[in-house]
Amino acid sequence: MNELDKFTDEELKSELKKRREKRQEEEIPSTLASFDLQNLKENCFEYLLMIVKIADRQYDHSWIEIGEGFVFKSAMETFYGTSIWNWIKEKVDKDYDWSDIG
């Protein structure tokens, strides 16, 4: 009798899923030991200021995505450092031009 015969298909699938998820979590870089939130705070404030300007029709709605990009970039770099873009590039798309992000 094979050792695996002791388990149902569902139990085996569940175990494989747990192992895959654990491996994926282990691949994610750790956050920096300490970080400065000032840049992130400033970018969040600028984003909210931009929303007010959009509401006052000083900017059009296309600026929302640009602002969100700045906040996202600041958050990633605040918690993971600027090298996070190298890790993302390795994982996602080695040929994509990441120069405008990281």
Question: What's the rounded Cα separation, in Å, for the pair 60 and 34?
Answer: 37
- The pair of three-digit structure tokens given for residue 89, joined into one six-digit string: 């590039």
Q: What is the pLDDT of residue 97?
A: 66
C-alpha span between 68 and 49 (Å, rounded): 12
What does the pLDDT look like over 13-72, one tens digit per residue?
Answer: 888 888 888 887 788 899 999 999 999 999 999 999 999 998 888 888 888 888 898 899
- Establish if 24 belongs to a structural domain: no
**Domain contains 23:** no
CB 62 within 8 A of CB 100: no
- What Å distances lie between residue 94 and 5, 27, 56, 89, 98, CA to CA? 42, 17, 41, 5, 9
Looking at the domain assignment, is residue 21 inside a domain?
A: no
Q: Which two tokens stand for residue 65?
A: 């995505």
Domain range for 61 is 35-94
What six digits make up the tokens of 99?
């120069």
This prediction has a pTM of 0.68
Whether 17 maps to a domain, the answer reads no
Output the pLDDT for position 45: 95
Domain total of the chain: 1
Residue 9 is assigned to a structural domain of this protein: no
Which tokens hold the place of 55? 């509401």
The amino acid that residue 77 corresponds to is: E
Residue 57 within any structural domain of the chain: yes
